[in-house]
Amino acid sequence: MILRMNLNIQIANANNCTKAKLSNTRGQISVIAAQKFQHSLHLTRQLLPLEEQHTLVLP
């Protein structure tokens, strides 16, 4: 009985750890995606002539 409870606690801990790792990985991926998007916006700004830069609303 004690052994089974202990095993359940270990499984719960492993699940929590896995969930935490997953959400951390998702967070890192979204940060990388945001950085790449910012970088592509920056490149777009550099490639546009000055007149067109004023007409486009870029963040």
DSSP letter string over 6-49? HHHHHHHHHHHHHHHHHHHHHHHHHHHHHHHHHHHHHHHHHHS-
Is residue 57 situated within a structural domain?
Answer: no
Domain span at residue 30 reads 18-46
Is residue 8 situated within a structural domain?
Answer: no
Is residue 35 situated within a structural domain?
Answer: yes
Is residue 26 situated within a structural domain?
Answer: yes
Is the model more confident about 5 or about 35? 35
Is the model more confident about 47 or about 18? 18
Total domain count, the chain: 1
Q: How many angstroms separate the CA atoms of 29 and 27, rounded?
A: 5
* Chain mean pLDDT for the chain: 74
Is residue 33 situated within a structural domain?
Answer: yes
Is residue 40 situated within a structural domain?
Answer: yes
Is the model more confident about 50 or about 12? 12
CB 58 within 8 A of CB 44: yes
Is residue 29 situated within a structural domain?
Answer: yes
